[in-house]
Homo-oligomer: A and B are copies of this chain.
């Protein structure tokens, strides 16, 4: 029984990897920079995306996909920025997979895009195992979650290209131990780039926007 499950899971992951590889090639050919955001529920993925879309939509052509088990609250929030947004409702599935991304992209012309953001379901575990063909993956952790999250959820930090510490405006109020958090990230993923920001006050947003700009240049140069 256990063996059979592992086989089925491996087949599914392989199928996802094949499709993700195809998506990655398609994104590269179109020169679109695809950035996925993963985190716990409530770490601030949608708030960060809202601020990001507002900041860059004038200078870049942007679209977003947002995954959730139920509701399209996040898509509603993001649509206020005027950017094309599609909700991926996953039902009881705890992650977005490559097939869902592929389906959601139908009818969009990727050539016209500079950026595509993919907001995953709030879950620090399962999304780690599913490649979405994204160019870069950012893992968010908020100052309220506890400094040891990287040690407790190492796989998702290992699959990320950037760690973002969010809600820094309430760091003092929650007694956030910044050195401990940075040390924990570094122990799990030595050298992983870290950006600290608050989508509410905009502190640190410049570093994130510069990171995105470099990512876009890299995607366009492929």
Contacts and interface: CB of A to CB of B under 8 A. Distances in A.
Interface of A: 1, 4-5, 8, 11-12, 15, 40-42, 68-71, 73, 92, 94, 121-126, 129, 141-142, 144-146, 148-149, 151-155, 167, 170, 173-174
B92 A151 contact: no
A185 B141 CA distance: 25
A5 B4 CA distance: 10
Nearest to A129: B92
Chain A at the B interface: SS class? loop
Contacts of A73: 148, 151-152
Given A11-B1, A15-B1, A69-B155, A42 B125 contact: no
B40 A152 contact: no
What 4 A-B pairs come out closest when comparing CB atoms?
Answer: A42-B145, A94-B125, A144-B144, A173-B173
Contacts of A1: 8, 11-12, 15
Contacts of A42: 40, 141-142, 144-146, 149
Contacts of A4: 8
A167 B144 contact: yes
